[in-house]
Amino acid sequence: MGKLSRKKATEMVESGTISQDNFDKMEAAGQIAKERGNTERVIKTGSNTWVTPMFYFKGLNNSKRTKEMLELRKKVNQLIIDFTITKSESVTSKGSK
């Protein structure tokens, strides 16, 4: 059995076919496809070009991430979202965020 598309699953919740609780359980079980699309974030430089901010743990290799590392990644990702736009938005944007 394949995965249910996110769009179809959302429509099912909105129509009352499945509950939000069932949606959440299906999503956690990997039965609903993840969102796709260009989520790459960019920010404009002083030279009027676009760059992509990156955050990673150098030397992690196959080591397990700690709770603190996950919390740090979450906070950094939120900062990146706050200060950048998506790559597709940059195509139509004439200014920087």
Q: Residue 80 has what pLDDT?
A: 94
25-51 as b/e: b if 16+ CB within 10 A = ebeeeeebeeeeeeeebbebeeeeebe
Helix (H, G, I), strand (E, B) or coil at 50: strand
**Residue 30 pLDDT exceeds 90:** no
- Give dist(CA 12, CA 24) in Å, integer: 13
Return the structure tokens found at 30. 């990997």
- DSSP state letter for 4: B
Q: What is the model's pTM?
A: 0.55
User: What are the pLDDT digits (tens) for 32-88?
Assistant: 887 766 678 999 999 999 999 999 999 998 899 999 999 999 999 999 999 999 887
How many residues can be counted in the chain?
97
Over range 3-27, report the average pLDDT: 91
Q: Residue 70 has what pLDDT?
A: 94
